[in-house]
Amino acid sequence: MRSADIAVIGAGPAGAAAAIVAARSGLDVVVLDKAVFPRDKCCGDGLTAACLRELQELGLDPSAVRSWHPVQRVVLHAPDGRRVALPLPAGPGLFSVVARRRDLDTALVELAVTTGAELWAGSAVTAVGPGDDGRVVVQTSTATVAARTVIAADGMWSPTRKLCNARHDPGYRGEWHAFRQYLHGAGPDAMQAQHIWFPDELLPGYVWSFPLSDGTVNVGFGFPRLGGPAVGDGAAIWRRILARPEIAGVLGSATEAESPMRAWPIPARVDGVTLSALGGRVLFVGDAATAPDPMTGEGIGQALQTGRLAIDAVLAGTGPIEAATAYRRAVGRELVADHRLARRLGTVLASPRRTEWALRAVDTNDWTRRNFARWMFEDYPRAILGTPRRWQRGQFHRPGAFSDPVEDLHPA
Ligand SMILES: Cc1cc2nc3c(=O)[nH]c(=O)nc-3n(C[C@H](O)[C@H](O)[C@H](O)COP(=O)(O)OP(=O)(O)OC[C@H]3O[C@@H](n4cnc5c(N)ncnc54)[C@H](O)[C@@H]3O)c2cc1C
């Protein structure tokens, strides 16, 4: 049996971030995943400014991510058809990037390995339980590891949470459900901007079209499970969405599907779940901690952030209980106020009239358009006004991530 300081279960963004930070601090890390990389993950592929700052902090080299595609323009489409074009700051640095998860996650896993973590790919967790010397024994389909701390980064359905009996709700299926498809042949309007539509039937959910550098667009839609349409109606909703003139007008008439539509739930209740198990020896991060934003469903940045916070807590803590407490406090400090505000704003967007009013307010002048874009793309915390302690000097003017010139590496 292998022994290690840290066993990370799941090598998506949350697990990779934890593995990189831990390995960089000199800890002996095993990171395991049931998948073999490269692997796809059903996602919109949108990287917010906060996410990009986390990636920069981890030391990711954007040129390692094949489909990395910086975006400068966002267009919001109100239910009444109004178009609100939001220019992201022209630079320096990046505020929004689209990159296939297949490429991003592979690059992060490779970074974890070059930083010193040992990767067990194609290794599914089958049992997690207490072992000798206060360690946790993790059995997988291929091997066993005994670790001082386990980071559970195994996504929305977190088998580790089940194996540790730390499920909050056995029937839980996430707060949102989202559908995604890659399309070839989209028109120039779709290739030049990120588009977000708010059709009445999905509110406060939305439809997105995000351009990629290889000439495809990632198109999808998501909506809250509670009060939203039936998840089983996804295929019919999709056909109606693609037929809507305001969406078809942007995508153009020549699109072809690259692969079938896929759907996956999004968990978003980080203030309502337990973040640790087995006396603090297991810490949940990313989707396994239900960390995504309750208003947009974005969760890659939150996955990276919680992975980092969990290892920071392990490094600072004197023991597992202290580490779990430190981690819970850090999540409370960094995520919970934003989650609560996002949830409240989600109720505003539930009504077409209120959504139209909100987008008219956003469209008031250049300042509102630019700063709303920065706020929407998480360049500063959602609830910054309610948590002034997180305010940083020059917050409205700081450069984006990767401020050294980063070109579109693979222009369309
Ligand atoms: C349709 C859709 C669109 C989205 N769009 C965006 C977006 O544009 N931007 C954004 O920021 N977020 C988006 N999200 C949310 C985002 O995808 C997730 O929040 C993010 O992937 C969470 O990362 P993670 O590392 O926690 O989990 P994951 O990325 O799900 O990784 C979990 C890992 O655990 C592994 N695993 C699972 N079970 C086991 C097991 N038994 N043993 C070992 N390993 C296991 C999996 O193979 C996987 O590699 C979207 C989600 C959906 C569903």
- Report yes or no on 355 lying in a domain: no
- Report yes or no on 407 lying in a domain: no
Q: Residue 256: is it exposed, middle or buried by C-beta count within 10 angstroms (0-12/13-18/19+)? A: exposed
- The 10s digit of each residue's pLDDT in 249-284 is 999 999 999 989 999 999 999 999 999 999 999 999
- Ligand 1 center to 94 CA (angstroms): 23
Query: Which band of pLDDT confidence, cut at 50, 70 and 90, is reported for residue 168?
Result: confident
Strand-pairing partners, residue 86, are 74
Q: Is 199 in the pocket of ligand 1 (CB under 6 A)?
A: no
What integer pLDDT is reported at residue 153 of this predicted model? 98
Q: Judge whether residue 410 has pLDDT over 50.
A: no
Query: Which band of pLDDT confidence, cut at 50, 70 and 90, is reported for residue 49?
Result: very high
CB atoms within 10 A of CB 57: 15
Structure tokens at 108: 């992060």
Question: Percentage of the chain with pLDDT > 70?
Answer: 98
What integer pLDDT is reported at residue 412 of this predicted model? 38
What integer pLDDT is reported at residue 227 of this predicted model? 82
Which has the closest alpha carbon to 374: 70, 54, 50? 50
- Report yes or no on 139 lying in a domain: yes
- Report yes or no on 161 lying in a domain: yes
Query: Which band of pLDDT confidence, cut at 50, 70 and 90, is reported for residue 119?
Result: very high
Pick from 40-54, 187-201, 224-238, 283-297: least confident: 224-238
- Ligand 1 center to 340 CA (angstroms): 22
Which has the closest alpha carbon to 8: 151, 140, 155, 136? 151
What integer pLDDT is reported at residue 210 of this predicted model? 98
Mean pLDDT of 325-346: 92
Which ligand 1 atom minimizes the distance to the CA of 124?
42
Which ligand 1 atom minimizes the distance to the CA of 45?
8
Structure tokens at 62: 């954007």
Q: What is the CATH number of the domain that holds 141?
A: 3.50.50.60
Query: Which band of pLDDT confidence, cut at 50, 70 and 90, is reported for residue 405?
Result: low
Q: Judge whether residue 1 has pLDDT over 90.
A: yes
- Ligand 1 center to 403 CA (angstroms): 27
Which has the closest alpha carbon to 44: 96, 2, 120, 113? 96
Query: Which band of pLDDT confidence, cut at 50, 70 and 90, is reported for residue 383?
Result: confident
The whole domain housing 275 covers: 2-68+100-172+267-348
- Report yes or no on 25 lying in a domain: yes
What integer pLDDT is reported at residue 163 of this predicted model? 96
Top pLDDT among 2 and 88 is at 2
From 104, 154, 163, the mutation candidate for ligand 1 (largest count of ligand atoms within 8 A of CB) is: 154
What integer pLDDT is reported at residue 331 of this predicted model? 97
Q: Is 41 in the pocket of ligand 1 (CB under 6 A)?
A: yes
- Report yes or no on 36 lying in a domain: yes
Which has the closest alpha carbon to 82: 377, 368, 361, 367? 361
C-alpha to C-alpha distance for 380 and 358, rounded to whole angstroms: 19
Contact of 29 with 16, CB cutoff 8 Å? no
- Ligand 1 center to 287 CA (angstroms): 6
Q: Judge whether residue 406 has pLDDT over 60.
A: no
C-alpha to C-alpha distance for 162 and 170, rounded to whole angstroms: 9
Q: Is 270 in the pocket of ligand 1 (CB under 6 A)?
A: no
What integer pLDDT is reported at residue 293 of this predicted model? 95
Q: Judge whether residue 19 has pLDDT over 90.
A: yes
List the residue whose alpha carbon is closest to atom 10 of ligand 1.
Answer: 298
* Residue burial 402-411, b: 16+ Cβ < 10 Å; e: rest: beeebeeeee
C-alpha to C-alpha distance for 52 and 88, rounded to whole angstroms: 14
Pick from 81-95, 99-113, 114-128: least confident: 81-95
Which ligand 1 atom minimizes the distance to the CA of 14?
25
E strand or H helix at 159: helix 159-163
Query: Which band of pLDDT confidence, cut at 50, 70 and 90, is reported for residue 409?
Result: very low
- Report yes or no on 88 lying in a domain: no
- DSSP, res 395: T
What integer pLDDT is reported at residue 337 of this predicted model? 87
- Ligand 1 center to 90 CA (angstroms): 30
- Report yes or no on 344 lying in a domain: yes
- Ligand 1 center to 393 CA (angstroms): 33
Rg of the chain taking only CA atoms, in angstroms: 21
What integer pLDDT is reported at residue 404 of this predicted model? 67
Which has the closest alpha carbon to 259: 179, 183, 177, 186? 183
Structure tokens at 17: 């971030």
Q: Judge whether residue 53 has pLDDT over 50.
A: yes
Q: Is 384 in the pocket of ligand 1 (CB under 6 A)?
A: no
Based on the structure, what is the number of domains in the chain?
1
Q: What is the pTM of this model?
A: 0.95
- Ligand 1 center to 221 CA (angstroms): 16
